[in-house]
Amino acid sequence: MATYNTNQKKELLQFLEQHKDQAFTIDEMMSGMDRDPAFLVKPGKSTLYRLLPALTEAGTVHRFTRESDRKTVYQIVGGQGCHGHMHMKCNGCGKVLHMSDGASRELMAQIEQLNQFYLDLSHTLLYGTCGTCAARVSGENTMGGLAHE
C-alpha cells in the first residue's frame, strides 16, 4: 500500500516534533494546532484518526493510555536511536522520558545476571512519577501549613 506525505501529515509530524516530550489525545493535538498560527494546513479529526494508527504501526509515533484519565495519547518517537534504550513513563502527566543508553545497558545487565531474564528494549517501558509531578504532589501535601506525618 502506498503512503503519501500530505501537507496535513507534515503539519501533524511538525507539531509532534515541536512537543516531543509530551503525549496528546487527538482533541489536544487539534487544539494545539488551532492555537498556533504557524500551522496553516491543520488536519481534521477524521484525518488524525486515519494518520495516527499508520504512524504508530510505522514506528514513528508511540500510542499509550494516559493513567490519570485513561485516554489514548500519542507521542512522537525520539529519533532513530530510540530503540536502544529503556523509556520511563510518568503516571501523572503521561510524559515519556528516555533513559540513557549506558544506564539502560547497566540495568539490563543487572536484571540478566540476577534473574536470567533478557529484556526486549524495543518494548521496555518503566512506569513511575517524573520530577515535575513529584514536586507538584509534594507541594500539594504541604500547602496550607499542614505537615503530613
Which range has the worst mean pLDDT, 21-25, 40-44, 60-64, 144-148?
A: 144-148
Tens digit of each residue's pLDDT (9 = 90 or more) over 26-77: 999 999 999 999 888 889 999 999 999 999 888 888 888 776 778 898 988 8
Tell me what the mean pLDDT of segment 133-149 comes to: 64
Residue 1: pLDDT band by 50, 70, 90 thresholds?
very low
pTM for the model stands at 0.63
Q: Considering only residues 144 and 56, tell me which one the structure prediction assigns the higher pLDDT.
A: 56
Specify whether domain 85-149 bears CATH 3.30.420.40. Answer: no
Residue 21: pLDDT band by 50, 70, 90 thresholds?
confident
Tens digit of each residue's pLDDT (9 = 90 or more) over 64-107: 877 677 889 898 886 545 667 888 888 887 777 888 888 988 99
Q: Could you tell me how far CA 58 lies from the centroid of its own chain? A: 16
In the chain, where the domains are located: 1-78, 85-149
Q: Which CATH architecture has domain 1-78?
A: Orthogonal Bundle (1.10)
Tell me what the mean pLDDT of segment 4-27 comes to: 89
Whether 149 shows a pLDDT value over 70: the answer reads no
Q: Quick one: which of 24, 7, 145 has its CA closest to 75?
A: 24
Which cell goes with 101? 543508553
Angle formed by the axes of helices 26-35 and 45-57, nearest 10° = 120
The full DSSP string for 5-37 is: --HHHHHHHHHHHHTTT--B-HHHHHHHHHH-T
Beta strands in 1-149 (DSSP E): 61-65, 72-76, 87-90, 96-98, 125-128
CA 144 to each of CA 35, 138, 148: distance values in angstroms, whole numbers, following the listed order: 35, 12, 11
Q: Quick one: which of 126, 85, 77 has its CA closest to 103?
A: 85
CA 25 to each of CA 85, 124, 142: distance values in angstroms, whole numbers, following the listed order: 25, 22, 32
